[in-house]
Structure 1
Amino acid sequence: MKLYIAFFALLSISILTSCSSRDDDGGGDDSIACLNLGTQELDITIQESYTTLPSKVSVFFKVNGTDGSPVAGLTPSNFTIFEQGRNDDCYNEISSSEASAAISPNAQIFSNNTLLVLDLSNSVLSSSLQELKQASTSFITNVMPAVPTESFKMAIYWFDGEDVLHELQSLTTSATQLQEAIDGITDDISNDPSTDLYGAVIKAATNAENIVDTLENEDLFAAASVVIFTDGTDQAARYSEQEALDAVSNAGEDISFFTIGLGSEIDEEVLIAIGKTGSAFAENSNELEAVFNDISNGVAGQANSFYLFEYCSPKRDGSGENDLIIQVITGDRDGVVQTSFDATGFTSGCE
């Protein structure tokens, strides 16, 4: 079993001035350099920052390692807050306890969506269907929360040689519905011996883009992961390899692509290119569940590396625009992100 994993960073979106730790590590900025904040081995990307009266500052961001791997499971103890106002030569550390710093639920502003795309051409149905169903079951269990939440959804699609990406289960928060859809796959679901792999990639990319666009039009931040399984190469030749690769490369930075290949008839180089976020390969069907689990860890890690960090600022009305640095420390790695906020109207009483 061979595994190739790389991870993505989402597009930085902020209504306030901000920069990631890669963009601003203290070099050339004396106000940040005075803090001597460390080696910057974490990359923090702000998605949104906003304030709520009487004095709450909220920052929604993603944390990756500098290699792109997601950093999940952070708590308020991993964060240090620094503010700099008009009278400060350097940033001042704000006590996390006094600031009531917290990691808050982000379901109200963020939606993570997974598209599981399965090759159900005849070669799979005749030789590895039961193993694929078991692997898909493990994937669902690992990715979907035990308690359904609107911030985690999954859909399941399948393809063969037709110019169609068949929907097996529409986007849902229910792991039970997803499991029932997998259980319902039978070996007569398709009689097409061909494989329209490139068409499936193109259509899945379009579906992911449409999902993200729809959610963002509802004022939600959204991300999607496309996970494609196949046991072969494109045989239908309806679309070109370049068209499939273009669909992946042209997709938004908030869409990740993973691929899973089975057996000796796959083209690993092509699948690695399509699975720009991560790829995994099983030599035989007995390895499928372990490979699906590896990819599920990557998908779940991406979703759980988003944080809504909130604290009560000591700045008050009249202080104007203030600079903010959030430092993240986990183990022997650290990183910072810089933004700013307007304290107009800030008073005491924040909790």
Structure 2
Amino acid sequence: MLSPLVSRLYPQPAAHPSRLFAILVAALSLTLVACGGGLTVTRVNSAQKKPNNVWVFFTVEKGDEPVGGLTADDFKIYEDGELVSKFESKQVIQNPEVAAVMYTMLLLDFSGSITEAEQADALVDAAKLFTERVGKTQKVGVYIFDGSEKIHSVVPFTESQGSVEGGLEGLRKYKPKDPSTNLHGAVVEGVRELKKGLDKDKKPLKFGTLVVFSDGTDRANRLTRDQMKDELGKDEYENYEMFAIGVGAEIQKAQLEDIGKDGTELATDQAKVKEAFEKVAARIERHMKRFYLLSYCTPARKGIHEVKIEAISKDPEGSGHVEWEFNSDGFGPPPDCNPNAPPVFELKASAPSGDSGGGAKVEVKAGASVK
């Protein structure tokens, strides 16, 4: 490098235009690489089984928005860095409901401030629209709370819309035994009840959503705000989604966000309650579309192999990938690999990306109901 004195005495010639062009092209290329991709692909679980089946359950998102509608042709499969031909892989997208179950709990505030202000009818109407919409893709349970220590079951988790509507109709004339508001305690009871319902289901992959509606702050003080937040922060609820809907001037957005880590809606008056419920229902519907169950036949016959699944989307435009390893010892026909075979997954709640731990394995029956 020339010293400042020498540089002044002997100025360097300007860079040749072709060299400047090359520098600009290189800089632009680096920028494109840094901005490329855009999709987040997250492995939930994966499995493999003889003769040579491989399954992976994952989500595809861009930012906070789910990416739905991808087909088997929108994915590329690499093993040990080499592209596996679609002719050889026979890759297919199976219905996620074959291996996974989704439960949503609607937890409604029916304390004295709701019933005495004659707001029950508007709340029931909004809840009916919500359950009708969300119930098309998952099991829905409806529970209520007031100032009592325990929440009250209106309709346990079910796929029957008629049962949900009948239970909600009965709330129009409901009178709370304790008119106070046990919001913190109800949220804790609600998420525990949601987990209990999911734990009873035999499908290996379980996803829960808690939607809480309230018009005020916790007045009963049975549990503190910090106790509620500590419960919701436990690892066992890490993959649960939680939404909160508030109405009226009493409740604050910060209080809602303590509960609704995945989204909140604040209605300023009763006229906007239905709209708030519809927005949350729409978000749950969109989130459902991010799940994929990809099945393929691996050409590997022995040893540990690294798999990369690349997702390529045209709308929204972007790509992303997920990687993991599997053991193919003893693989190979006969019989021939059937990519439509039901998957074998660990019997556990949704597992974030990473190697699966131990546990009992469950083979999902091909006859699982699909709506």
- Is TM > 0.5 for Structure 1 vs Structure 2? yes
Select which of 131, 135, 150 maps to 1:140: 131
Q: Does 1:328 align with 2:311?
A: yes
- Indicate conservation of the 8 Å contact 2:37/2:318, yes or no: yes
Written as runs of structure 1 = structure 2, the 5 A alignment for 1:72-91 is 72-84=68-80, 91=81
Indicate the residue corresponding to 1:55 in structure 2.
52
- Percent of aligned pairs with the same amino acid: 28
Q: Does 1:231 align with 2:227?
A: no
Indicate the residue corresponding to 2:245 in structure 1.
260
1:160-207 CA deviation, whole Å, 9 max, x = no partner? 111120000111122221122112212233254311111111111221
Written as runs of structure 1 = structure 2, the 5 A alignment for 1:90-239 is 91-125=81-115, 126-145=117-136, 152-190=138-176, 192-215=178-201, 218=202, 220-239=204-223
1:78-104 CA deviation, whole Å, 9 max, x = no partner? 2111122xxxxxx22223354221111
User: Unpaired segments of 5 or more residues in structure 2?
Assistant: 1-32, 339-371
Distance (whole Å) between structure 1 residues aligned to residue 254 and residue 78 of structure 2:
46
Distance (whole Å) between structure 1 residues aligned to residue 37 and residue 70 of structure 2:
17
CA RMSD of aligned residues (A): 2.2
Select which of 271, 286, 290 maps to 2:256: 271
Which one-letter code corresponds to 1:184 in the other structure? Answer: G
Distance (whole Å) between structure 1 residues aligned to residue 177 and residue 198 of structure 2:
33
Distance (whole Å) between structure 2 residues aligned to residue 208 and residue 254 of structure 1:
13
Select which of 227, 235, 244 maps to 1:243: 227
Q: Does 1:69 align with 2:49?
A: no
Larger radius of gyration: 2
Q: TM-score, normalised by structure 1?
A: 0.79
Q: Which moved more, 1:271-280 or 1:305-314?
A: 305-314
- Indicate conservation of the 8 Å contact 1:57/1:312, yes or no: yes
- Indicate conservation of the 8 Å contact 1:122/1:191, yes or no: no
Distance (whole Å) between structure 1 residues aligned to residue 45 and residue 174 of structure 2:
48
- Indicate conservation of the 8 Å contact 1:209/1:255, yes or no: no
Which one-letter code corresponds to 1:325 in the other structure? Answer: K
- Indicate conservation of the 8 Å contact 1:160/1:194, yes or no: yes
Distance (whole Å) between structure 2 residues aligned to residue 191 and residue 207 of structure 1:
21
Q: State the 1:309 CA deviation.
A: 0.4
Distance (whole Å) between structure 2 residues aligned to residue 96 and residue 263 of structure 1:
56
**Structure 1 residues 188 and 322: CA distance shift in structure 2, 3 A:** closer
**Structure 1 residues 115 and 188: CA distance shift in structure 2, 3 A:** closer
Q: State the 1:310 CA deviation.
A: 0.6
**Structure 1 residues 310 and 207: CA distance shift in structure 2, 3 A:** same
Distance (whole Å) between structure 2 residues aligned to residue 103 and residue 37 of structure 1:
30
Which one-letter code corresponds to 1:240 in the other structure? Answer: T
Q: State the 1:37 CA deviation.
A: 11
Q: Which moved more, 1:197-206 or 1:94-103?
A: 94-103
Q: State the 1:71 CA deviation.
A: 2.9
Q: Which moved more, 1:163-172 or 1:123-132?
A: 123-132
- Indicate conservation of the 8 Å contact 2:243/2:264, yes or no: yes
Which one-letter code corresponds to 1:337 in the other structure? Answer: V
